């Protein structure tokens, strides 16, 4: 499918919106909408530094990492009751379904919610109530990736131990994530919890090569034996690492707008996305923190085409890569891949007829 002229812009956007999608790198804490923040604040009797969605959105115009972290933590501070997790996942998943996202692996950070009157299993139970409703209502399938934070290693072992329990895995936990600042907090600090989680059957899904160079990715690979790398874009500066990623088919979860908004890349056209794809890397596209970066997965695909030089076929490849490197069982992957390819063909026919009928 090709969209040649500039007047096809609207048609391209409709096409991308209609594509069935999968997302592997998206944080619950970065996906709490302004309306949801206001609702949570009201029901929990909290005072926010804004009183409308429009005022809240002004806070998303931050230009420092600290301001970004502050607004993220403001969202976390509104999650008080166990039911709040149900509300947030239901709202987040409803937005995903509206973009035709049919499969998502959602990361969340358990250590924000330790020492509460309820347990991590209670939180997971509430999130799973929303997950069940979303599956029935829209067919959206969700799995969970609890992560640990590089700069706060103290609870890492306890969180890994919890995530690796049979109860958590039966409740949809598929991997252990690792986020937070890389510089000064090497992956080697987390070898033990990741080894433990892997022995119990969880995959390792760390961020690396976002705010630090390729050495951080090498170390993460050696120490944690990851199944995918969150971001990983600094690999582009290291041909030997790019060759390794291609040879091992180790997937990267690229988050374009996140990299621009956090100053990791100066512009879309200088982003290494296309160079990584051209080199043969297995790339997926993701939003990271869609509310905080004011983006959607549909928009990320559009920007990848319009600003980074990807073709529509690259987007289809990116979507199928997300399914094939997801943590679903093989038979579930095959079923979804087949269904997505059929849908792609159907959309191509539909949009081709539309173009010819003009």
CA 319/CA 20 separation, integer angstroms: 8
Residues 220 to 239: which contact Zn ion by CB under 5 A? none
Contact segment (CB under 5 A) with Zn ion among 1-9, 88-96, 218-226, 285-293 equals 285-293
CA nearest to 311, candidates 338, 263, 274, 261: 274
Contact segment (CB under 5 A) with Zn ion among 78-86, 181-189, 221-229, 280-288 equals 280-288
Contact segment (CB under 5 A) with Zn ion among 75-83, 165-173, 282-290, 334-342 equals 282-290
Is the distance from CB of 11 to CB of 3 less than 8 angstroms?
yes
Is the distance from CB of 21 to CB of 101 less than 8 angstroms?
yes
Task: Kindly tell me which of 1 and 104 has the beta carbon lying closer to Zn ion.
Answer: 104
Considering the complex, what minimum distance in angstroms separates the CB of residue 230 from Zn ion?
Answer: 5
Question: Which one is catalytic: 141, 210, 253, 300?
Answer: 210
What is the pattern of x (binds Zn ion, CB under 5 A) and - over residues 236-275? ----------------------------------------
H-type alpha helices, the chain: 9-18, 34-44, 53-58, 65-78, 82-98, 120-138, 156-163, 166-170, 191-199, 214-224, 239-248, 256-261, 273-278, 297-306, 312-324, 330-356
Considering the complex, what minimum distance in angstroms separates the CB of residue 31 from Zn ion?
Answer: 11
Total residues found in the chain within this entry: 358
Burial class (CB in 10 A: 0-12, 13-18, 19+), 37: buried
Contact segment (CB under 5 A) with Zn ion among 89-97, 240-248, 283-291, 293-301 equals 283-291
Task: Kindly tell me which of 228 and 321 has the beta carbon lying closer to Zn ion.
Answer: 228
Task: Kindly tell me which of 84 and 288 has the beta carbon lying closer to Zn ion.
Answer: 288
Contact segment (CB under 5 A) with Zn ion among 215-223, 269-277, 287-295, 314-322 equals 287-295
- Specify the DSSP class assigned to residue 6: G
Considering the complex, what minimum distance in angstroms separates the CB of residue 32 from Zn ion?
Answer: 15
**Residue 305 φ then ψ, to 5°:** -80, -50
Task: Kindly tell me which of 23 and 288 has the beta carbon lying closer to Zn ion.
Answer: 288
For residue 288, state whether it binds Zn ion (rule: CB under 5 A).
Answer: yes
Task: Kindly tell me which of 1 and 258 has the beta carbon lying closer to Zn ion.
Answer: 258
| Helix orientation angle between 156-163 and 191-199, rounded to the nearest 10 degrees | 10
Residue nearest to Zn ion according to CB distances in the complex = 288
Considering the complex, what minimum distance in angstroms separates the CB of residue 181 from Zn ion?
Answer: 12
CA nearest to 280, candidates 247, 311, 306, 308: 247
CA 167/CA 258 separation, integer angstroms: 33
Question: How many Cβ atoms sit within 10 Å of the Cβ of residue 87?
Answer: 18
Considering the complex, what minimum distance in angstroms separates the CB of residue 348 from Zn ion?
Answer: 32
Considering the complex, what minimum distance in angstroms separates the CB of residue 288 from Zn ion?
Answer: 5
Site size with Zn ion, rule: CB under 5 A: 1
210 is catalytic: yes
Residues with active-site annotation: 210
- The residue ranges that bind Zn ion (CB under 5 A) are 288
């Amino acid at each position: 499918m090709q969209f040649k002229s500039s007047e096809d812009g609207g048609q391209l956007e409709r096409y991308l919106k209609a594509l069935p999608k999968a997302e592997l790198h998206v944080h619950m804490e970065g996906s709490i909408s302004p309306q949801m923040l206001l609702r949570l604040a009201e029901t929990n009797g909290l005072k926010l530094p804004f009183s409308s969605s429009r005022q809240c959105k002004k806070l998303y115009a931050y230009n420092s990492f600290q301001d970004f972290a502050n607004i993220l933590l403001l969202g976390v501070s509104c999650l008080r009751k166990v039911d709040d997790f149900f509300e947030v996942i239901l709202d987040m998943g409803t937005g995903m379904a509206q973009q035709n996202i049919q499969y998502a692996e959602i990361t969340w950070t358990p250590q924000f919610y330790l020492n509460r009157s309820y347990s991590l299993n209670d939180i997971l139970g509430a999130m799973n109530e929303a997950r069940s409703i979303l599956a029935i209502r829209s067919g959206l399938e969700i799995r969970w990736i609890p992560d640990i934070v590089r700069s706060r290693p103290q609870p890492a072992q306890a969180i890994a131990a919890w995530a690796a329990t049979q109860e958590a895995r039966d409740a949809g936990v598929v991997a252990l994530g690792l986020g937070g600042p890389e510089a000064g907090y090497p992956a080697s600090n987390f070898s033990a919890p990741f080894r433990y989680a892997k022995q119990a059957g969880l995959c390792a899904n760390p961020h690396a090569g976002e705010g630090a160079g390729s050495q951080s990715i090498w170390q993460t690979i050696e120490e944690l034996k990851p199944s995918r790398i969150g971001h990983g874009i600094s690999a582009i500066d290291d041909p030997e690492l790019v060759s390794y990623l291609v040879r091992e088919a180790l997937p990267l979860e690229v988050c374009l707008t996140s990299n621009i908004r956090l100053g990791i890349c100066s512009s879309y056209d200088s982003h290494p996305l296309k160079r990584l794809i051209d080199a043969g890397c297995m790339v997926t596209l993701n939003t990271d923190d869609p509310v905080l970066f004011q983006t959607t997965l549909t928009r990320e695909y559009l920007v990848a085409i319009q600003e980074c030089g990807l073709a529509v076929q690259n987007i289809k490849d990116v979507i199928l890569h997300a399914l094939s490197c997801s943590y679903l069982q093989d038979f579930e992957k095959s079923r979804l891949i087949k269904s997505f390819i059929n849908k792609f063909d159907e959309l191509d026919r539909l949009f081709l007829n539309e173009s010819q009928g003009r």
